[in-house]
């Protein structure tokens, strides 16, 4: 999805040996692209099956399975074996061979895991404190919603941090742009939703920061698995508010041990409050302006991946704020 259908149809007409696609877009081509068929398919791979089913792709998967030949090799990969995945397994696999890497959820020893217990209303201040303390390190910040990811990216950029968002409301082209800029080091902070928490091809991430806890404890493992890979060291910090205690306790129970606290002197965090408040207002103004333009039916113009598109007045305010914050950080 997110890429022009006609352009894809031209590529499919060249009879590629391998096609990688989302269920919805594959079905679109099966139904609308003349000459496209998977009747001669030899291998069908269903990757991230649990996520596909959680995103309500059951209908599309059924249509794809119906269009496939019965004589084929099918590979189904899933991080968790849910009831929906078991149902799909029965429907799509014949005499399956099950390969289970590990039934125990655990993290690697080279990963430092810490938490911060903070008042919910001051989460942005503590997030800024962490970014400041660990400046220069590549980091992925996980948020629960697309709106939060976008807001945090705008807020951190106005504070002078090289942040960029990655979430489901961005076009495919902008998601790829965000990911590539992060991998290239042009942006060192990637703010993502759980859409991006699995399957990201990023070789080296120094820090994973959970701004909001995942509803499923197992998703915590997938998030923090973005760092401390291939024997390298890494750090994961989870921000816990008064509303997250039960979720956090479930995570610790799953891990089998208590996490250490990340030190954050209150007096140092307090020094950031005024500046962070200004940055929050900048982000709110920006997002309101974008919503107004979309509702008015005007051309979509977004600062999702580049602050250079900012309105001149807002850009001037952001630059002033960045200078003031930089002087305080020295």
pLDDT tens for each residue of 258-276 = 999 999 999 999 999 999 9
221 phi, psi to nearest 5 deg: -60, -40
Asked which of 27-36, 74-83, 125-134, 305-314 is least confident by mean pLDDT, the reply is: 305-314
pLDDT band at 160 (very low <50, low <70, confident <90, very high): very high
| Cα distance between residue 217 and residue 255, in whole Å | 9
- For residue 181, CA distances in Å to 142, 167, 178, 284 come to 17, 15, 5, 25
Mean pLDDT computed over every residue of the chain: 86
Q: Which of 87, 290, 133, 181 is nearest to 165 (CA)?
A: 181
Q: What are the structural domains, with CATH classification, of the chain?
A: 5-92 (3.40.50.300), 111-329 (3.40.50.300)
- The answer on pLDDT for 304 being more than 50 is no
Q: Are 31 and 39 in contact (CB under 8 A)?
A: no
Residues 6 and 26: beta-carbon distance below 8 Å: no
């Amino acid at each position: 999805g997110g890429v022009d259908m006609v352009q894809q149809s031209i590529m499919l007409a060249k009879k590629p040996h391998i096609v990688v696609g989302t269920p919805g877009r594959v079905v679109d081509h099966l139904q609308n692209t003349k000459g496209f068929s998977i009747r001669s398919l030899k291998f069908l791979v269903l990757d991230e099956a649990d996520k596909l089913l959680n995103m309500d792709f059951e209908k599309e998967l059924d249509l794809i399975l119906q269009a496939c030949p019965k004589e084929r090799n099918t590979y189904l990969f899933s991080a968790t074996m849910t009831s929906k995945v078991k149902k799909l397994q029965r429907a799509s696999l014949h005499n399956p061979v099950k390969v289970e890497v590990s039934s125990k959820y655990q993290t690697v020893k080279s990963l430092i895991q810490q938490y911060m217990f903070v008042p919910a209303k001051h989460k942005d201040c503590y997030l800024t404190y962490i970014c400041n303390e660990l400046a220069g390190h590549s980091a992925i910040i996980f948020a629960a919603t697309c709106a939060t990811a976008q807001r945090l990216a705008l807020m951190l950029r106005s504070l002078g941090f090289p942040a960029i968002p990655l979430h489901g409301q961005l076009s495919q082209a902008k998601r790829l742009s965000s990911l590539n800029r992060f991998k290239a080091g042009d942006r060192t902070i990637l703010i993502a939703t759980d859409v991006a928490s699995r399957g990201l091809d990023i070789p080296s991430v120094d820090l994973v920061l959970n701004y909001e806890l995942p509803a499923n404890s197992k998703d915590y493992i997938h998030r923090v698995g973005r760092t401390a890979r291939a024997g390298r060291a890494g750090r994961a910090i989870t921000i816990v508010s008064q509303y997250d205690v039960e979720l956090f306790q479930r995570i610790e129970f799953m891990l089998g041990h208590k996490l250490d606290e990340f030190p954050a002197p209150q007096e140092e965090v307090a020094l950031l409050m005024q500046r962070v408040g200004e940055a929050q207002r900048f982000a709110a103004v920006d997002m309101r302006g974008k919503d107004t333009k979309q509702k008015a039916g005007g051309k979509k113009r977004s600062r999702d991946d580049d602050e250079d598109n900012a309105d001149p007045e807002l850009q001037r305010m952001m630059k002033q704020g960045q200078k003031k914050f930089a002087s305080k950080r020295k």
